[in-house]
Amino acid sequence: MSCSCTSSTNTQNELHASIMQKINNHPCYSQDAHQHYARIHVAVAPACNIQCNYCNRKYDCSNESRPGVTSYKLSPEEAVKKVLHVGGLIQQLSVVGIAGPGDGLANPKQTFETFALLKKYAPDIKLCLSTNGLMIHKHIDEIAKYNIEHVTVTLNSVDESGEIGSKIYPWVFYEHKKHRGVEGAKLLLEKQLLGIQMLVERGILVKVNSVLIPGINDEHLPLVAKKVKELGVFIQNVMPIISKPEYGTKFGLDGVPSATHKQLMKAQEACDINVKLMRHCRQCRADAVGLLGEDRSDEFFKESFADKSFAELSHHYNLNQRMKTHENIETWRRALRAANGKITQEDATNKDELSSTGDTMLVAVTTRGNGLINDHFGSAKEFLIYEAGDKAIKFIMHRKVENSYCMGKENCNGTYPIEEIKNALSDCHLLLTQKIGECPQKELESIHLTCDESFADEPIELSVLKGVRKHFFATA
């Protein structure tokens, strides 16, 4: 009996170590890694085999930050040249993803040619694929062949009747035929569940993206979470619908609004009891570049890499220097973990796990990455949100704003409208930032938000705990 138990424990430890190795430097699969490692999406997959009412693909769009848009399309060769070019300049780049602007598996030739070239010229980088799941079962061998360890599947409903799905998908194109309405939704779900099962059986880590569409699938998402847990999915990402008439989507033109922060928090809370959640998604463009909290895609024009040779770009990529950079990142992460201690409770499902009194506070943080409070309030275009008590903390979400408070000298010093930021932080109790001016601080105090600069350039997690203890749990 003892031998059997030891063997079982060793197997579980080996499995855990294998998973940790896969996610350690993947900014989407690891909340901690997203502060340190960058990703790049290459837009080699223009076609799609389903129509989503929340999606409108655009191939020459530079001013919208949402899935399905790109500034330009790439051939497989151009895509790999771009990766080598960017990877030499952004050496913390760790992941290449194919995420559109259509569906990677609706463009299998371009997708797998790209992955084959990446294995040859950028062997250190992780490969990632995003798909609607319709065609996984037909390409599972190729996914495994190219060692694609991470696959994201968009799954918005597990309603077997197809009623919910038919409100999201007007049609599904499969086997040379358009399947509409309930018929298409049922077909898509069947292939999605089959594909996810096949991926899990191959040991490929699966992330499920579920778009929160209030009034359509918001009450249904906990059932999606329950199902994906049963299937062995690694993580689920509940992401709010982004909907505006100018985006040209069916929902946007019909007046369906974007989901709010409060609606997202409610949906996440409902799903959190069933499956591990990703809470740091930025709903990236199909050509996104950089840390998740930044998009540097507009810095890299096709002309800067397309005409260069693979030999020249491989030298620029500098594999040895990249390995040293990643070693330095890991050294820094170990130091951060030592400084922060074991104060984060990612799996906490009730307030008592965070607070001895049952009371918790929401804390907003400004950061430019590296796990530090290192961004001025005036330049912040997003805020990390933590729930914190006197015992522990939990990362909840990030919140974007379209414009930072300070838009340059002529639009700073409190003259720029702050209402969007106040609305985004209206339920928060504490803001930890590197620096904030007197005028915006007074504006935030009007919504009862306490601002604190004393933790500037300090580790985020420890500072969040210290901050709530300082301001709200003075005797803790």
pTM (whole model) above 0.95: no
Q: Percent of the chain scored above 70 by pLDDT? A: 92
Q: For 245-266, what is each residue's pLDDT tens digit?
A: 988 899 999 999 999 999 999 9
What CATH fold (topology level) applies to the domain 26-304?
A: TIM Barrel (3.20.20)
Q: How confident is the model at residue 1 (pLDDT cuts 50, 70, 90)?
A: very low
Average pLDDT, the chain: 91
pLDDT band of residue 5 (cuts 50, 70, 90) is very low
Mean pLDDT over 99-124 rounds to 96
Residue 284, helix vs strand vs coil: coil
Characterize 424-436 residue by residue with b for buried, 16 or more Cβ atoms within 10 angstroms of its Cβ, and e for exposed: bbeebbbbbbbeb
Q: What is the mean pLDDT of residues 367-371?
A: 93
CATH code for the domain defined by 342-473: 3.30.420.130
Cβ contact 363:429 at 8 Å: yes
CA distances (Å), origin 105, targets 29, 40, 136, 151, 388? 21, 18, 7, 11, 42
User: Which DSSP letter does residue 330 get?
Assistant: H
**Is the pLDDT confidence value at 39 over 50?**
yes
Q: Does 146 score more than 70 pLDDT?
A: yes
**Residue 193: what pLDDT?**
98
Tell me the domain boundaries of the chain: 26-304, 342-473
Distance CA 312, CA 85 (A): 10
Alpha-carbon separation of residue 55 from 67, 251, 440 (angstroms): 8, 9, 36
- pLDDT for position 8: 47
Which tokens go with 16?
Answer: 């855990």
What is the DSSP secondary-structure string of 133-163? STTHHHHHHHHHHTT--EEEEE-----TTSH
Which one-letter DSSP state was computed for residue 259? P
pLDDT band at 285 (very low <50, low <70, confident <90, very high): confident
Mean pLDDT of 73-79: 97
Task: Quote the CA–CA distance of 395 and 241 in Å, as a whole number.
Answer: 21
**How far, CA to CA in Å, does 79 sit from each of 200, 201, 427?**
28, 30, 42
pLDDT score recorded for residue 17: 82
Q: State how far the Cα of 349 lies from the Cα of 326, in Å rounded to an integer.
A: 33
Distance, in Å, from the CA atom of 108 to the CA atom of 76, rounded to the nearest integer, reads 11
**CA angle centred on 286, ends 220 and 78, rounded to 5°:** 150
- CA pair distance 268, 247, nearest whole angstrom: 26
Query: In the predicted model, is pLDDT for residue 77 greater than 60?
Result: yes
Alpha helices in 152-211 (DSSP H): 163-168, 181-201
Q: Which pLDDT tens digit goes with each residue over 332-347?
A: 999 999 988 888 877 6
